[in-house]
Structures are given as structure tokens and as C-alpha cells.
Amino acid sequence: MQLGMRAVCALAIAAGVPVMHMPGHANPLVVKTEQGRIRGKYINGQQVRAFLGIPYAAPPVGDLRWRPPEAPASWNRVREATQYGHRCMQGHMYRDMVFQDPGPSENCLYLNVFTPAQAKPRNKLPVMFWIHGGGYQEGSASEPRHNGDFLPLKGVVLVTINYRLGVFGFLATPALAAEDNGAAGNYGLMDMVAALQWVHNNIHAFGGDPGNVTIFGESAGSFAVSTLMTATEAQQYFVKAIGESGGAMSLGAPGTPTLAQVESRDQTWADSLGAKTLAELRALPAQKVLDASLKKGAPGFWPVVDGSLLVEPVAAAYAAGRQSHIPLLAGWNEDENTALSEGMTAEKWKEFAAKHFPDRTAEFLQLFPADTDQDAVQSAIQYGSARFIALGTWEWIEAQRKTGDSPVYRYHFELPAPGSKFHPGGVTFHSDDIEYVFGTLDTRPGAHWGLADRTMSDQMMTYWTNFAKHGNPNGSGVPDWPSYNDDNLVIHLNKVITVAPSTVRAQYEFLEKFLPPPRH
């Protein structure tokens, strides 16, 4: 009995035997993009094809430093796409960031595509476009926790990207504004838009649907998602959004200052490097620029209202309903920031309340109580988490619910991760959700995961990919997740998944009124 070539290939793959592609049969590891053909590799037991280090823009070096991204050059021969490209220039403040790339470089505008092994262009699978976190200062798509071994097994195409960071991504001076019709900064956001455009033009060749793209990100990546939803230039490239711990609203640090608020400050910093012109500034070694940007007293470099990509503060766009009217899935972790709780007692918490809310101490303590030391510790975690990132995320969710004309699904991630090399055990800390969402638990150094963790990871992957497919996280095999829109219902992701009304509204409405606005 003779077997067809397709059956032979399937048996070979199942046995772990590399398949030799006969003449006349297309090699699934070679894909044609607009710039040229690339060759990827199989990962995860040949269940997924990975195409790594694909340039989506020209290297932003030399005269292209602090300019909008330009199209990448084309090539004639098959380009190898089996290794990550360089990560963007950055310091190393976040100890839990581990990388699989050759190192930092200005030549860093690369993306990666992970697609099911058998995906064909006609399949038109939903696309999930990941924006990494790191405070807009650090991070890379090459972090092992962002690996694409598992999400594609849920029937999606995953894209992960690098984008310019820190001073290289967000410097905004009067000279740069004069050069670009009054706009400056936001080069990192422009990189994201360029990567989205690349996806729109190329992802069909990998089995993805350019008309069904979900942008998602964590921390700064979630800030970016909330921001891109207000950028007209970006809105055409995605139809759903997921935000994990971050929203660029009025009290969600750093918000979106205007160009006028930061350009003088940024120019003073640029002058300190001794360069008298933009040409001289662009000629400085990248490491010298980076080192100067990391010194004590240097400004922070973040997205700004530049009048071009962003024409108004993010919060104002949502208030007016000018953001993308698309389904949103968003939430945060239970213990986003525990620093304030260390050594906390009831007496210390009452002193904190009197110092920071002298005119409303009693009201504050009613919402963040200090009846016992244990209460004070929990209140400090709740307040610290809100002040750090949860409040801005909540503001974003509320704004989209009010003016977005689309379903909103809100979660609260509560399953404590095991202790590991870089993450505290027994809490649900900032960024603890990432490995669960990607199914990459075993990439975290020193963590010993249990059955509850692996079950939760599979459930979160299912919810996230269901949402990417349908704009609704529900489906077979997972507990029902109702919309947040009407009844303030939140899904609590813990060993036992439950649904209950939100309990933070009174706390967060108080903080909205009485926290001081962010300084720029």
C-alpha cells in the first residue's frame, strides 16, 4: 500500500524525523514576504513554525536616529530567520528580564512570527500582536517568557516585536520638532505602528488574517495598547485589544504629557552631551547617549502628545469617544506592588494616612482600613498597587466601557506564583501573569509549578485566544466570563475561578479625586 506525500510527511513529523522537501513541493519553512523570502524553523516538537529576527523597518541608526521608521531593505536570497534580532538599547534595571538575543543595539527593529506548523495562507487564523513591557525603558521580544511555543497551539498566529526604548524611542526636543513639522518623540510608538503595518501586509503568508489582529501587552505594553487605541494612524490595523496591568490615563503614570511640557527639559538634557546640532547628536556613540540618559537627574522618556501620532492626551480621547470602538479584555494582578506593605503596622498606616491625606484621613482609612496590623498590610498593598498601576488600568477600563460602544471583559489575577530567583513567592506580583498567558511557566528560573498553575495557564491561554478569535473569551472548557459592561462583574482568576461584582470602585473614585496629578 502506497502512502501519499502528505501522509508520509505527517508520519515523519510525528516521529520527530526531519522532512526532506521534494522538488515541486513547497517548503513550509520558507515564506515569502514583501521584502523577500525567509527561512524559519520548527519548535515545540515541530508543532509550531518560528520565524525570528524579521526586519520590519530600516535600522534607525545614523541619520535615522530619532526619525520615524522607514521601510526595510529588500533581499534576493532566502534570509535565515532562526535567531532573534538584537534588542533595543537599554539599561538593566529589571532583574527578571532574561534575553535570547545577541545583545543591545540601535539596529533592533525586528519582529518574530510563530504559527501552527500546518497553517496555510487560506486558513486566515486570528493574529495576536504582543507588545512587551519594561517601562518603555527596557525589555525585548526575545525574553523566554514571551516564547511562542504554545499560544499557536490554540489556533492563532503570534507576533512579538521590539521597539525603540528610552531616549532613543522618546526624546522630544524643539530641534526634532522643527525637523518634523512640529512633532517630536513617540518613535517607539511609531515603530509599533510600522510593525502593525508589516503584519497587515505580510501575515497572510504565515496563515494569519490581517483583518483579525488583536494587540496585547503587559505593563508598558498595556500602556501602549491603550495609547494606540487613540492613534488614528494605528487604529486601522487591529480590531481587538488586551491590556495586562497598565493604562495611560490621567493618573496612570506617566500619562501623556504634551510636547510643550517636555521639550525644554529634553533639550537641556541633550545640550549636556556637548552636541551643538542634531547632526552632532546623531553622530554620538549610542552607548554614550544611553549612559547619559541613565544618569541620576536625567529626565524620563515617555510618549507625549506630539500633535501628529497623538493629537490629544489619551484620557481626553477616551472621554470624547475618539478611541477605537473595539472589544477590550483587561485587568491587573492582586499584588502589583507590595513595597509599601513591608514592615507595615496599623499605627504606621494611620500615620501614612494623616500625612498624605490630612484633610480626608478618616475617609481614606474607611476605604483602606488599619483596624489591625494585618488590615494595614493589606491596605498598603491595595493602595500601593493602585498608585503604581492598577488605578490607571481601572480608569482605562471604565473609559472604554463608557464611550467605546463595545464589550469589555475585566479580570483580576489572584493565583500566587511560586517563589523563584527574581519573583517573590506567595503573592501575585506585577508581571506574574505573563508566563501563564504564554504557557511558558518552565522558562522562569527556579520556580516549581504545581497542577493549579498549569491548569490556570491553560485556562488563561484559552480565554485570551478565544477573545482573539471572537472578541469574547468564552468557550468550551473554561468557566463562563460575563461582560463587565452592565453589572461590574469581574472574573477572579484563582485556583477556583469565580465571578463577582467589582469591589474597588469606592477606593478608586476616591483616589481619582484626591491623588495629585503626575508631574512631568
Catalytic residues: 219, 336, 430
What is the rounded CA–CA span in Å between residue 275 and residue 257?
26
Query: At 4, which amino acid appears?
Result: G
CA dist 45 → 17, 50, 274, 435 (Å): 10, 12, 54, 20
Q: Where are the beta strands (DSSP E) in 363-447?
A: 408-413
Q: How many residues does the chain have?
A: 520
Residue with cell 516564547: 147
For the record, the C-alpha cell of 106 comes out as 540601535
Do 122 and 205 meet the contact criterion of CB atoms below 8 Å apart?
no
Name the 3-class secondary structure at 251.
coil
Helices (H), 180-333: 187-202, 220-228, 232-235, 259-271, 278-283, 286-294, 314-319
What is the rounded CA–CA span in Å between residue 406 and residue 110?
32
CA torsion through residues 253, 254, 255, 261, sign: positive
Residues with Cβ < 8 Å from 159, sequence gap 6 or more? Answer: 111, 112, 113, 114, 127, 128, 129, 130, 195, 199, 203, 208
What is the rounded CA–CA span in Å between residue 520 and residue 511?
19
- How do beta strands 110-116 and 157-161 pair? antiparallel
What is the rounded CA–CA span in Å between residue 198 and residue 56?
6
CA torsion through residues 217, 219, 222, 228, sign: negative
For the record, the C-alpha cell of 498 comes out as 469565580
For the record, the C-alpha cell of 109 comes out as 527593529
Name the 3-class secondary structure at 202.
helix
What are the backbone dihedrals phi and psi of residue 490, each rounded to the nearest 5 degrees, phi first?
-120, 140
Closest CA to 101 of 93, 109, 314, 76: 109
